[in-house]
Amino acid sequence: MNEIAIIIETVIKAVVVLAVVAGMAAFATFIERKVLAYMQRRLGPMNVGPHGILQLAADGIKLFTKEDIIPQNAVKPIFKIAPVIAPATAFTAMAAIPFFPEFTVFGYTVTPIISDINVGVLFIMGVASVGMYAPLLAGMSSTNKWALLGAARTVIALLSFEVVSGLALLAPLMLIGSLSLIDINDFQNGGFSSWLVWQQPLAFLLFAIAGFAETNRTPFDLIEYEAEIVSGYATDYSGMRWGLFFIGEYANMITVAFLVSIIFLGGYNPFWIIPGAIMILIKISAFIFLFLWVRAAWPHVRPDQMMWLCWKVLMPLALVNILITGIVLI
């Protein structure tokens, strides 16, 4: 009976996470348009509903009803599968994230994590890396050079910033001695001064920069840079297949925001009179706002500039940080 209860609980958690995060990802598109409009002295969406709030519904209807075009010479099986990989990997990575502290419902204790595995950080990083195959396969299976260039830039981003993000996390993980996100959160339960960002500020900065590249956000959105390669890997896509790529992108933004909040910013531990659940929401909202702010403020970089930044600046800094942390621990 206990096993049946665990299975039912896991299924309910997975459905709730899928529904809530998908809704958050859709709402993030509206928030992004409003925030960018405010920073650029525009109004943004205003015509559909009060202050444009129903623009979400209009965009959803458009995506679901728009004609699904597949180019005649595309590699059709791969072309069709590629958009599914992006959201699938994004939501799978969330299985190891503890979203909130434990709470009790009718005497039953609920742990807000789908699967509490002791290598949660490694699992999330691995699954997120697989997600890069979505734009890679989409670009390679399409029929135009812009999509192929976008796919080639996907490989550049994968080789560059996956290494940086992994090395950036090594130093804080050396301090904690565990790959479980629950253990990492509990390591910082001593209050504001125990947050890992104070002990590992360089690791925080490196991981945040790598997060911008892994989520394909400005200034590292090279694989769909509209000024150079139209829409990159997604040039040949339309309708819901196009929408799946961006559901995956915004879901990845939420995942990165949770990772940064849990690993460096105290996680879901309470702060003063603010409960832990409210604190984690404040932290991820602030980091997602940072994503939007950077898009409004920073220009794009070239692929060669991104690789130079990774291999000659960020990676040496990550290695030096690991060395210093090791010396301190010894």
Q: What is the DSSP string of 296-325?
A: HH-----HHHHHHHIIIIIHHHHHHHHHHH
Is a pLDDT exceeding 70 seen at residue 152?
A: yes
Number of other CB atoms surrounding residue 297 within 10 Å: 10
Residues 6+ away with beta carbon under 8 Å from 175: 187, 196, 199, 200, 325, 329
Q: What DSSP character marks residue 274? A: B
Amino acid 9: pLDDT: 81
| Mean pLDDT in residue range 189-208 | 90
Question: Predicted confidence band at 14 (pLDDT cuts at 50, 70, 90)?
Answer: confident
Distance CA 196, CA 39 (A): 31
Distance CA 55, CA 138 (A): 28
| Mean pLDDT in residue range 87-110 | 82
Q: What DSSP character marks residue 157? A: H
Distance CA 251, CA 270 (A): 25
Q: Could you write out the DSSP letters of every residue in 84-117? A: HHHHHHHHHHGGG---S--EEETTEEE-S-S---
- Given a contact cutoff of 8 angstroms between Cβ atoms, the answer to whether 162 and 117 are in contact is no
Distance CA 141, CA 79 (A): 5
Distance CA 95, CA 109 (A): 18
Query: Per the omega criterion (within 30 degrees of 0), is the bond before 98 cis?
Result: no
Closest CA to 326 of 174, 200, 186: 174
Q: State what percent of residues in the chain have pLDDT above 70.
A: 98
At 271 the three-state DSSP class reads strand
| Mean pLDDT in residue range 281-307 | 86
| Mean pLDDT in residue range 38-59 | 84
Amino acid 250: pLDDT: 87
Pairing of strands 108-110, 103-105: antiparallel
Strands in 135-182 per DSSP E: none
Distance CA 100, CA 97 (A): 9
- Model confidence, pTM: 0.89
Question: Predicted confidence band at 257 (pLDDT cuts at 50, 70, 90)?
Answer: very high
**Cα 94–Cα 99–Cα 104 angle in degrees, nearest 5:** 130
Is a pLDDT exceeding 50 seen at residue 13?
A: yes
Is a pLDDT exceeding 60 seen at residue 182?
A: yes
Helices (H), 237-314: 239-264, 276-297, 303-309
What mean pLDDT is reported for the chain? 85
Residue 110: strand pairing partners: 103
| Mean pLDDT in residue range 38-50 | 84
Distance CA 69, CA 242 (A): 10
Count, residues in the chain: 330
- Given a contact cutoff of 8 angstroms between Cβ atoms, the answer to whether 268 and 279 are in contact is yes
Q: Supply the angle between the helices 120-130 and 145-176 in degrees, to the nearest 10.
A: 170
Distance CA 232, CA 226 (A): 7
| Mean pLDDT in residue range 215-227 | 75
Is a pLDDT exceeding 50 seen at residue 1?
A: no
Distance CA 212, CA 131 (A): 15
Distance CA 319, CA 259 (A): 21
Of 231 and 244, more confident? 244
Number of other CB atoms surrounding residue 104 within 10 Å: 8
Amino acid 299: pLDDT: 82
